[in-house]
Structure 1
Amino acid sequence: MTDTSSEHTDGLLRIGEVARLFNLSVGTLRHYEQLGLLEPAHIDPASGYRYYGARQLSTLNTISNLRVLDLPLAQIREFVTTRDVDLMQRQLAQQQELIERKRRELERVSRKINNRLALLRGALDAELDTIYEVNAPELRCAVLRERVNPTDAYALEWQIRQLQKGQHETFVFLGNLGVGIAPERIATGDFDGYDEVFLLLDDTDDYLGDVEVRPAARCLTISFRGTHGQAAPRYELLLDYMHERDLSPAGPSREIALIDDIISDDPATYVTQITVPVTASK
């Protein structure tokens, strides 16, 4: 039909007017049309101008409200083309369930960020080369037992890939990857290399594979400027401290580079922390 007389456009709004009315772009309205969400009341066959009436404005209002609820456009199209109340109930229930899952995931991520921020602040504020006695909480960890001798974090890339193998999410992050020396070797002063690579897991981590639970323990801890390659002298300090107080290693050490060459280009900022569970010597 090619008649462009006012009888076809009386009481209708042009696309630009509708876009301004709903604070949308003309491109968005055209996209809605392409998806079958919003057909204009009239298209001028000569100029291609789009015109919209009360029904289209009502539909657009529904679309806008459903977009606020974050419903996908495909679901919105299904509703506005059927106007089925039961369908809308199902869609809203599904969306509520999805949002609830997202909320739980965001809370989990928020806890992870808080934990990492606490580790980073602790590393920045730590009094270096000073031994402290602490009560460490129970820990969950994934462990790869093999001899390694890393000089920096990049040297553990193969072990990281092994710990991450088959996982549906990335677990390696700031402050939760470390290396350990067996207690028997610590007791004899053998600090040449490490016996395991471990990945500390948060209580919300769903790790696929064997997970070890290491009990809460009395521990000695020391932080120093440097990374794994400079750790041996600190183990000597820890061992001397144990001998002076009749203590013995009660589990593998936990040595974690809190600030290293992965997150800083300045070696003067590197901080590594060693924690060793201890018990009274027999």
Structure 2
Amino acid sequence: MESKDLFQIGEVARMFHLSVSSLRHYEAMGLLVPEVTDPETGYRYYSTRQFEPLNTIRYLRALDMPLNEIADFLQNRDLDKMEEKLQQQKEIVIKREQELKRIERKIGNRLNQLKDARNSVLDVIALTTARACRLVWMEDNLTIKEFVDMETPIRKLEQKQKEALIFLGKVGVGIAAEQLLKGQFQQYNGIFLLLDEEDQYDGTVIHLQETPCVSVRFRGSHKEAPAQYEKLMNYIQEHNLKVAGFSREITMIDYGLTNDTEKFVTEISIPVKVS
């Protein structure tokens, strides 16, 4: 079946810079039915009557409007309906733009953290200042020998959250001040989530003020931490400082970034105050 007024599906696809599969999908959804379908061959033919609605579909898809919304408009073509659809889509785009900006900031945060970690001065204990932050703390006695030992408590923190913790912030572990003073460094008392400024967490969030800390960065992960705690506590005692809170231990480079354990970097900070 051929006519100068009819166009095969491949021709229409080329004219409108679409794939044949897209046109078939539009047909399946009832958005754009071919003028003629050859009953013997199944070939589809379109006439110029389909070009106008196809242009409308392309325009609305360029605005990222979902196909079901486009179908609703095509079945109820009306000026008010179009204005309503465009307004709805504008609000969706604005919301998506805000979310993309948030993602951009989080990527920037991760890049800065990675750069900071790769430029770390290792095995040097220093008195630093921990910035004010928002933190989610969950008490849980943990002994971490392998990376997988973190998975169960992380899943607990993640419950009822819309986003995975790997996207929300940085997970760390801590040892209570009382346990630090007893020299017990093998077991952690809790797991925490250090939130980025733009993160939203559905649960109790602790606001920590800027505070002096004794800190060290070292090559390794949690299983290498006990020896570092001993060094930190010796430094605190020698410099007449007092432990002022739970430790904050974070793997800055770990299996989430590389399988090369020789590149792992972990930071431990213990809040202190002058005796």
Q: TM-score, normalization: structure 2?
A: 0.90
CA distance in structure 2 between the partners assigned to 1:20 and 1:130 by the alignment: 65
For structure 1, which segment, 69-78 or 28-37, has the greater mean C-alpha deviation from structure 2 after superposition? 28-37
- The structure 1 residue matched to 2:146, chosen from 152, 155, 158, is 152
Tell me if structure 2 keeps the 8 A contact 1:152–1:227: no
> Per-residue deviation at 1:128?
0.7
Q: 1:207: which partner in 2? A: 201
Tell me if structure 2 keeps the 8 A contact 1:152–1:261: no
> Per-residue deviation at 1:262?
4.8
Q: 2:253: which partner in 1? A: 259
- 1:129-178 deviation digits (Å, cap 9, x = unpaired): 01233222212122121322212331122211211122222114597111
Superposed, which structure 2 residues align to 1:140-179 within 5 Å?
140-172=134-166, 176-179=170-173
Question: Are 1:114 and 2:108 matched, yes or no?
Answer: yes
User: SS in structure 1 opposite 2:104?
Assistant: helix
Instruction: Rate the CA distance shift 1:276–1:174 in 2: closer, same or farther, 3 A.
Output: farther
Q: 1:56: which partner in 2? A: 50
Q: 2:66: which partner in 1? A: 72
Superposed, which structure 2 residues align to 1:1-282 within 5 Å?
9-45=3-39, 47-172=41-166, 176-281=170-275
CA distance in structure 1 between the partners assigned to 2:126 and 2:249 by the alignment: 15
For structure 1, which segment, 218-227 or 241-250, has the greater mean C-alpha deviation from structure 2 after superposition? 241-250
- 1:99-133 deviation digits (Å, cap 9, x = unpaired): 22222222222222222222222222211101233
Instruction: Rate the CA distance shift 1:235–1:77 in 2: closer, same or farther, 3 A.
Output: same
- 1:201-230 deviation digits (Å, cap 9, x = unpaired): 223222222221111112222111111121
Tell me if structure 1 keeps the 8 A contact 2:125–2:214: yes
CA distance in structure 2 between the partners assigned to 1:145 and 1:209 by the alignment: 14
User: SS in structure 2 opposite 1:176?
Assistant: strand
CA distance in structure 2 between the partners assigned to 1:48 and 1:189 by the alignment: 80
User: SS in structure 1 opposite 2:140?
Assistant: strand
User: SS in structure 2 opposite 1:191?
Assistant: coil
Tell me if structure 1 keeps the 8 A contact 2:168–2:199: no
Report the number of matched residues.
275
Identity %: 43
User: SS in structure 2 opposite 1:209?
Assistant: coil
- 1:75-102 deviation digits (Å, cap 9, x = unpaired): 1122223221111111111111122222
Instruction: Rate the CA distance shift 1:96–1:60 in 2: closer, same or farther, 3 A.
Output: same
Q: Which runs of 5+ in 2 are unaligned?
A: none
- 1:211-250 deviation digits (Å, cap 9, x = unpaired): 2111111222211111112112222222232233322222
> Per-residue deviation at 1:43?
3.9
- 1:22-50 deviation digits (Å, cap 9, x = unpaired): 11223322322222212233444555443
Query: Could you say what the CA RMSD is over the residues aligned between the two structures, in angstroms?
Result: 2.3
User: SS in structure 1 opposite 2:259?
Assistant: coil
CA distance in structure 1 between the partners assigned to 2:160 and 2:30 by the alignment: 41
Task: Supply the AA of the counterpart residue of 1:192.
Answer: Q
